Amino acid sequence: MIFENLPTTPRAEELVDKAFSRAARAGRAKGGIEAQESMLRTAGNILSDNLENVSNDWPDFEYEVDPFYYELADAVVNVDDLRQSLSEVNWASNQIAELRSEYASKIRKSNVDTARKHRKQAFARMADIVDEISDDLLAVGEARDALKGLPDIRPDEPAIVVAGYPNVGKSSFVNEVTRASNEIASYPFTTKAVQIGHFERDRIRYQIIDTPGLLDRPAHERNDIERQAVSALTHLADAVLFVVDASGDCGYPLDDQLALLEEVEATFDAPVLLVCNKSDRSRDVDADAYMSVTEDENVDEVLDMAVEAVGFEPDLPSRN
Q: What is the CATH class of 159-310?
A: alpha beta
Domain with CATH 3.40.50.300 in the chain: 159-310
CA trace torsion 134, 140, 141, 143 (10° rounding) = 140
Helix (H) or strand (E) holding 185: strand 185-189
Domain with CATH 1.20.120.1190 in the chain: 12-147
Do 306 and 239 form a contact (C-beta atoms < 8 A)? yes
Express each pLDDT in 150-207 by its tens digit. Answer: 777 787 889 898 888 888 888 888 888 886 443 444 444 443 556 778 888 888 888 8
How many beta carbons lie within 10 A of that of residue 58, not counting itself? 22
φ and ψ of 194, to 5 deg: -80, 135
Q: Which residues pair with 163 in a beta bridge?
A: 242
Options 2.60.120.620, 1.20.120.1190, 3.30.70.120, 3.40.250.10; CATH of 12-147: 1.20.120.1190
Express each pLDDT in 23-47 by its tens digit. Answer: 998 888 778 888 889 989 999 999 9
Ranges of the chain whose pLDDT falls below 50: 180-191
Burial class (CB in 10 A: 0-12, 13-18, 19+), 315: exposed
Coil vs helix vs strand at 177: helix
